[in-house]
Amino acid sequence: MTTATHHLELSPDPRVASVPFSRLLRAELRKLVDTRAGFWLLTAIGLITVAVIVVFLFVADPDQLTFMNLVGATATPQSILLPVLGILAVTAEWSQRTGLVTFTLEPSRIRIAVAKLVAVVLVGLLAVVVALGVAALSNLAGMAFMDGAGSWNIGAANVRDFFAVQLIGIVQGFAFGMLLMNTAAAIVLYYVIPIAWTVLFSMVGSLEKVAPWLDVNTAMAPAFDQRTFQAGDWAHIAVSGAIWVLLPLALGLVRLLRREVKSA
């Protein structure tokens, strides 16, 4: 059999309707909770978020019990764990040897990748909404039982930035997973390389001015200081995000399209 004939036989029949994207998306959403790793990761995110809030309620001074501070408390566990969900969404196909089934049922790997990305973004959005809800309930509890300040002084821009930071993190995790296609390697490098990069810029004073342009964590620092992103900050995020999110994502997509899928 010639190569041309082989490719011809594997090409999809144009008379056969492709799998609807909505079905692909539902399948990818289901995969995030069907696997033990995905289920327990989501459970851990929820439990740790609640635990952090409870601890904050008991250890913080009453004047620190505000909605803004409580939202900040929920941001820490989510910013650490949500990117791992993005990594698992990609690497599970290879670690659990399900890629052969997935890419046989839907030969277009680009459509699968897009469905996975949309799925993790939707879960990330839901996680942020839940975190905001937990913070709001905790603020009410703080006012009722802890004599908390109970300030609701948080603007739409703060909420927007909270969503942006968490979504950038989960997409970056997805990009690292796509590029490496190995769970352990992706998780380790996702945390080690950016941290080392951040430490480098903090230690070398001459690099301080360029740090926000080359380090996505530095670029997003205003949000962690409870400040809103300004025009210059968005420019920093765009450039550093292109380096640490879009570039790995593009390279990972190229690798996905070229990698051989095996059943064992």
Considering the domain boundaries, does residue 224 fall inside one?
A: yes
CA distance 252 to 264: 22
pLDDT of residue 51: 92
Cα distances from 147 to residues 52, 61, 150, 233, in angstroms, run 19, 9, 8, 36
- Is 13 part of any domain? no
Contact 140/52 with Cβ under 8 angstroms? no
- Residue 156 is assigned to a structural domain of this protein: yes
Q: At what angle do helices 67-95 and 109-145 cross, to 10 degrees?
A: 150
Whole-number pLDDT of residue 3: 42
Domain count, the chain: 1
Q: Please list, in sequence order, all residues whose beta carbon lies within 8 angstroms of the beta carbon of residue 103, skipping any fewer than 6 positions away.
A: 109, 112, 261
Evaluate whether residue 159 is within a structural domain.
yes
**Residue spans of the chain under pLDDT 50:** 1-10
Q: What per-residue confidence (pLDDT) applies to 262?
A: 65
| Domain presence at residue 219 | yes
Domain that holds residue 142: 19-258
pLDDT of residue 99: 67
Q: Is residue 198 part of a domain?
A: yes
Which pLDDT belongs to residue 9?
A: 39
Going by C-alpha positions, the residue among 107, 142, 136 that lies closest to residue 261 is 107
Residue 71 lies in a domain: yes
* Sign of the CA dihedral with 163 first, then 166, 170, and 175 last: positive
Two tokens, residue 182: 């190995």
> For the whole prediction, is pTM greater than 0.95?
no
In a domain, 9, yes or no: no
